[in-house]
Amino acid sequence: MSHDLLDGLYAARRELTRIIVATASQTVPPESLQQLLQQRDHIVWTINRILVADLTSSLADLDKAISGVEDGTKQLKDLTSTAADVTKAINIVSQIVGAAAGLLG
């Protein structure tokens, strides 16, 4: 089941990268682009922590984390590269990382 969680995190990273690439060519403040890059780093860090963790969470906790990651990823897919969407993406990634990190204690 942890592979489902990892698949979801990789999908979230892919969507965030899409937003970063699209945002780089827009007139979005550099600080916002930097925040997006930091959020992508948070996803990568979470992936790495899960890869080395000995997950002993209950099936219900794992399902909840997977659902949170998948829901956030779906929200990212709907975003574009506007300044408002950049702010939304930053908040969504925080939720995604939080959902996955809840398994790590």
Tens digit of each residue's pLDDT (9 = 90 or more) over 23-81: 887 778 889 889 999 999 999 999 999 888 887 777 788 899 999 999 999 999 999 87
Residue with tokens 């794992």: 62
The residue ranges of every structural domain in the chain are 2-101
1.20.930, 2.60.40, 3.30.70, 3.30.2030: CATH of 2-101: 1.20.930
- Residues 10, 27: Cα–Cα separation, whole Å: 27
Structure tokens at 95: 């939720």
pLDDT digits (tens, 9 = 90+) for 79-98: 987 888 899 999 999 999 99
Q: What does pTM read for this prediction? A: 0.89
